[in-house]
Structure 1
Amino acid sequence: MFFITNRAFVEGNASAEMRKVAFELNNNEAGQSVYFCWRDDAKKAYVELGSDNFMKAMRKAATRQVLFYLHDSAQFPEEQVFPTAEKLQALFDEQDKNLVDVVPVIWPCDNGQSPMRDFHEDQIAAEASGVAFARALEKFLVWRESVKGGEAPCLKRLNVLAHSMGNRVLRQTLSCWANYHRKGQVPLLFRNVFMLAADVFNESLEPTRDGRYICHSARNVVVYHAADDRILGAGSVGHLGANSASRRLGHTGPEHQAMTPQNVYTVDCDDVNNKYDRPNGHTYFLADEKGEPGKVFLHMYDAVKKGRIQGHDERRGLIVDLNFRSC
């Protein structure tokens, strides 16, 4: 499995092609170096490919699209991130074997003992990771347009699935990309951005907020939210050391739908989130207890496959009916 990370390695931050690496899990500093890697899924061993080898290997892969997976806070590579990515890959493969490569984007979560302190530290690490991953996006843009050696530009479509605090990483990455690399703008790079249980303020996608770059970067931005998501409830409106508070996008959906761009679609998952993740109702984009793909996953799959959002009102980027209440 391909993956990208700014997490520290035991071997140090001096990047080298084809070196064997291991995560330094006690170091949750958000590094400014970004590493393009391969995981041997059977051995759970990692090799740093380097960006050129990584891009070449992805170009040669039989899959038609790429899905970058930005994980939640308090997630370690082997304990949570890779198992979730493998489940996602298996679900997509069941629908269409050559549709997507799921590529985890791993940022440095804390491994301390205090949940509140971990949450606060992870917020800092998530935002600090934006600089490194902005550099990765610049490399992907060059890759997409490259015609070196007589090759045609790569036509693989890119998608993003950001879960919970992974949306904070996404927001900051695109803000850094715009401000440090692209003179205040970002190109249309992604086909779909799926914001699952987003742990960002619910005004984040409005034109004056940094989240606006998410909307600028994608054809479709789909916000999945649930009012009974226990993780995004009242306990996480504010955090240790916060000087402001607001409800979360993944808890309520956009605060002012009319103030979001036309390419933002909202899906109220309140009736199904606990079916796929009981009792927290927070990680509801995978399968049910029997391993059958959930309705949220199938909705994402349909968008990846077709490039259009099932069930939306053409006059406004708003989901009107997905028959979720039948679950």
Structure 2
Amino acid sequence: MSVFILSNRKIVRHQGEKLDSFSNDEYSIPNFRIAKCNFENYKEPTAQAKKKKNYTNRNILDYQLFSEPEKQGYQDVLDVLLSEKGIKKSALTANNLGGSQRMFYELYKEMSSTKERSDVLIFIHGYAYDFDDELQAMIDLKKLFIDNPESPVEHILFVSWPASSSIVPLTYFDDKASSINSGTSLLRLFYFYTQFLKDIFSNRDLAPCNQRIHLMAHSMGNRVLQSMLYSLKKENILRVIDQVLLLNSDVTYKVFEDSEDSFNKLPLLANRISIYLNRKDTILGISQFTKNILTPRLGKNGPSDIEKFKDIVSIIDCTFIENDLKNSLKFEIGNHWGYLSSSQVQRDIFQNLYGVDRNLITHRAKDNENIFTIIS
């Protein structure tokens, strides 16, 4: 089990501390830095502990930043893996690996060591998250996807990007500039991953782990994904993602059209794309009427035209779900966080991640060949 943080937040060292940390500042740097979360000694904090002023950063969840790699590429990873198999002598060990080298090495080792499902979930969060909020979200996601036996996920890559923060849940900020910068950084990481696959599996002594990688983007996190897709050349796309889940997406409903040149690339990247929408989503209603010149949002209205993608893209209508897991005012009025607030949505997501045929996923009503409504 692993939870990694991929962040283009500013790196700081707090007074009296010996380790570098990610900052809460709403400021992005050009490159992602990578850290690994430590759950070994994690204890659920009491309500009293959460009220203390020092309940921040590593007091929420411990993590360790990986060093930057000494050189680019993945030849060192290949040397370490072959050395561990006794195929090639090398003075290098895993401790010599940094950044994405270390993350890909650890994931490959863990995912190839079992015949059971050991999937990876890449998660891109939405608006109004400072870094402390993100750490709490990582804890929640671990409980939901790793600790839950109904889920095939064993590893999470949490994409941390410096969105604006607010103590008022329904206050909406436009983070376009930050999401564009973060999407560019995510694109660089995607190219690193495809290079890793080429460098490692060109060697016949190393076999693919045959596990699956999924991508989930919530709300404005879809803008980060959109920014990445804008710059991704179709000729460079490899189908390396199994399931893409677009949750309450705060992007225009036209993103799958060729004129947008963004989400129309997803069918080249993934085996299946699922759009989870809620027609009562208040947050996306605010976004549409105050920030986006009355442009309907994908996560509230659905896509304008996906006729040519209907074999790959599914629309899942969550308008009639119950918020039975989290029923505070934020969740009841917002209708924006179904993946956290509704057991019905979670059940649907788990079946999606397992790759169940979309026509066989339970508790769905079929509206047409690729549009479904979640029912009780």
Give the TM interval when normalised to the shorter protein. 0.7 to 0.9
Segment drifting more, 265-274 vs 108-117: 108-117
User: Are 2:277 and 2:316, in contact at CA under 8 Å, matched by a contact in 1?
Assistant: yes
Residue 172 of structure 1 is aligned with which of 210, 227, 230?
Answer: 227
Instruction: Return the alpha-carbon distance in structure 2 between the equivalents of residues 3 and 267 of structure 1.
Output: 29
Deviation of the 1:11 alpha carbon:
5.1
Alignment of 1:248-327 (within 5 A): 248-258=297-307, 260-272=309-321, 274-275=323-324, 276=326, 277-288=331-342, 294-306=343-355, 308-311=357-360, 318-322=370-374, 324=375, 326=376
Q: How many residues align?
A: 303
1:187 to 2:238 alignment: yes
- Runs of 4+ residues deviating >4 angstroms: 112-118, 273-276, 310-317
User: Are 1:264 and 1:317, in contact at CA under 8 Å, matched by a contact in 2?
Assistant: no
Aligned to 1:64: 118
1:90 to 2:143 alignment: yes
Deviation of the 1:135 alpha carbon:
0.8
SS at match of 2:192: helix
Aligned to 2:263: 211
SS at match of 1:6: strand
Shift of the 265–301 alpha-carbon distance from structure 1 to 2, 3 Å rule, reads same
SS at match of 1:126: helix
User: Are 1:163 and 1:198, in contact at CA under 8 Å, matched by a contact in 2?
Assistant: yes
TM-score, normalised by the number of residues in structure 2: 0.71
Aligned to 2:213: 158
Instruction: Return the alpha-carbon distance in structure 2 between the equivalents of residues 301 and 129 of structure 1.
Output: 28
Aligned AA for 2:33?
Y
SS at match of 1:32: strand
Aligned to 1:126: 179
SS at match of 2:144: helix
Residue 100 of structure 1 is aligned with which of 136, 141, 154?
Answer: 154
Deviation of the 1:96 alpha carbon:
4.8
Shift of the 111–321 alpha-carbon distance from structure 1 to 2, 3 Å rule, reads closer
SS at match of 1:271: coil
Instruction: Return the alpha-carbon distance in structure 1 between the equivalents of residues 355 and 170 of structure 2.
Output: 41
Aligned to 2:85: none
User: Are 1:192 and 1:307, in contact at CA under 8 Å, matched by a contact in 2?
Assistant: no
Instruction: Give unmatched runs, 5+ long, in structure 2.
Output: 43-57, 67-98, 112-116
Aligned AA for 1:109?
A
User: Are 1:207 and 1:259, in contact at CA under 8 Å, matched by a contact in 2?
Assistant: no
Instruction: Return the alpha-carbon distance in structure 2 between the equivalents of residues 100 and 316 of structure 1.
Output: 33
Aligned to 1:24: 23
Instruction: Return the alpha-carbon distance in structure 1 between the equivalents of residues 340 and 65 of structure 2.
Output: 29
Instruction: Return the alpha-carbon distance in structure 2 between the equivalents of residues 148 and 268 of structure 1.
Output: 42
Instruction: Give unmatched runs, 5+ long, in structure 1.
Output: 13-18, 289-293
Shift of the 238–280 alpha-carbon distance from structure 1 to 2, 3 Å rule, reads closer
Deviation of the 1:169 alpha carbon:
0.5
Aligned AA for 1:70?
I
User: Are 1:137 and 1:177, in contact at CA under 8 Å, matched by a contact in 2?
Assistant: no
CA deviations on 1:117-172 (whole Å, 9 max, x unpaired) are: 9712x122112211111011112223334237732234331101100000111111
Deviation of the 1:213 alpha carbon:
1.8
Instruction: Return the alpha-carbon distance in structure 1 between the equivalents of residues 341 and 170 of structure 2.
Output: 29
Segment drifting more, 50-59 vs 107-116: 107-116
SS at match of 1:204: coil
Deviation of the 1:195 alpha carbon:
0.4
User: Are 2:10 and 2:27, in contact at CA under 8 Å, matched by a contact in 1?
Assistant: yes
CA deviations on 1:239-275 (whole Å, 9 max, x unpaired) are: 55x6x54100001111234364531100110001644
Instruction: Return the alpha-carbon distance in structure 1 between the equivalents of residues 310 and 181 of structure 2.
Output: 26
Aligned AA for 1:5?
S
Instruction: Return the alpha-carbon distance in structure 2 between the equivalents of residues 142 and 155 of structure 1.
Output: 17
Segment drifting more, 294-303 vs 38-47: 38-47
Segment drifting more, 50-59 vs 298-307: 298-307
User: Are 1:220 and 1:308, in contact at CA under 8 Å, matched by a contact in 2?
Assistant: no
Residue 5 of structure 2 is aligned with which of 3, 6, 17?
Answer: 3
Residue 78 of structure 1 is aligned with which of 132, 150, 163?
Answer: 132
Instruction: Return the alpha-carbon distance in structure 2 between the equivalents of residues 197 and 55 of structure 1.
Output: 30
Shift of the 88–287 alpha-carbon distance from structure 1 to 2, 3 Å rule, reads farther
Greater Rg by CA: 2
Aligned AA for 1:282?
H
Instruction: Return the alpha-carbon distance in structure 1 between the equivalents of residues 208 and 295 of structure 2.
Output: 43
Aligned to 2:70: none
SS at match of 2:216: strand
Residue 222 of structure 1 is aligned with which of 246, 249, 274?
Answer: 274
Aligned AA for 1:46?
Y
User: Are 1:229 and 1:273, in contact at CA under 8 Å, matched by a contact in 2?
Assistant: no
